[in-house]
Amino acid sequence: MSGGALRSSVIAAFVGLVLSGCVVAPPPEPVVTAPPQPPPVQVEVVPAPPPPGYIWVPGHWFWRGRGYAWVPGYYAVPAPPGYVWVAPHWAPRGRGWVWVQGHWRPR
């Protein structure tokens, strides 16, 4: 995926979050596995926040079939009280790594 297409996808996801209100559970997604460990997280400059209440979701590496691509961070609308954000991350599984989608979970 090119940088422009990736950026458009991230913007579309952000607009979807804003228009849909709060995201409480991640949508069902196929399991993404990657053979090598992801690179270290990139340092990002966090832009000024939008209206109060939004939270910063840090950027992360995503496996694209032949290598990792950086997905920049974004602001998201917070969930209702009683929920906590679980950041998207890679978890070691067997001989590779499994992508865990970011989501809100009850405290």
Q: Residue 46: what pLDDT?
A: 94
- Residue 92 pLDDT: 87
Burial of 13 (C-beta count, 10 Å sphere; 0-12/13-18/19+): middle
- CA-nearest of 80, 59, 61, 57 to 69 is 61
pLDDT of residue 34: 67
* Distance, CA of 41 to CA of 57 (rounded, Å): 13
Give the pLDDT confidence score for residue 72 in this predicted structure.
94
pLDDT value of residue 100: 87
Residues in the chain, pLDDT under 70: 1-32, 34
